[in-house]
Amino acid sequence: MKRFCAIFSIVLMGLQLLLILASWIVSAVFPSSPIHALIGSGGLRWFIGTFANNLASPLLVYVILCSITYSSIVKSGLISCVASAMAKKQSFSMQQKFAFRIMLIEFVLFVAGVIFISAMPHAILLSVTGALFPSSFSSGLVPMICFELFVLSMIYGIVGGEVNTLEKFWNCIISGANFLPAVCFLYILIIQLFYSTCYVLGI
């Protein structure tokens, strides 16, 4: 995984450099073309001035939330338990079965709550026109899913006995920080390449 991320980041940086050089060459050879050069006063002013705004998108929040959710699912033991059961390497213990029952009850309550606030007439998460997309529901769909998966994994970890101390609970939350910098770095490269391409093409 680390090797893939390293190679992918190098490819992205290479594409960014190629875009910079290509935009400069095309704009120099064809001054009347709609291509904007990234090398020059206008390009540098755009790149530096819009860098933070380009990155500050809901997608960055989704990346952080998904990393925390993934971390909680793994560290709570939920993934390994389900994988072992599906591979028929071991059967569920009584404590694990009880944890899954509690998870099922919580999941049903969550789904019922979401339906109540999004699918009923005049629901609070609907748009002013009564639509789901776009609406507050669609804007908060990813955070709601991440929150529910986090709660389910914590229920399994606590009830199932995997998360029995505050330190383990905290570790479930922060262990995703091990790979979050790599994910965020790739996010920065991808977003900047996308917006740089849009700037060069005048989109």
Domain ranges of the chain: 2-201
What interhelical angle do 180-201 and 41-49 show, nearest 10? Answer: 140
CB 23 within 8 A of CB 37: yes
Q: What angle do CA 80, 158, 177 make, to 5 degrees?
A: 65
Give pLDDT, residue 90: 67
Distance CA 118, CA 125 (A): 5
Residue ranges of the chain whose pLDDT lies below 70 = 1, 89-90, 176-177
Give pLDDT, residue 119: 84
CB 100 within 8 A of CB 91: no
Give pLDDT, residue 95: 87
Q: pLDDT, tens digit, for every residue of 141-197?
A: 999 999 999 999 999 999 988 888 888 888 888 876 677 888 889 999 999 999 999
Q: Which residue has the tokens 């789901």?
A: 132
Give pLDDT, residue 78: 85
Q: Which residue in 158, 160, 157 sits closest to 95, CA to CA?
A: 160
Q: Which residue in 33, 44, 38 sits closest to 15, CA to CA?
A: 38
Burial of 16 (0-12, 13-18, 19+ CB in 10 A): middle
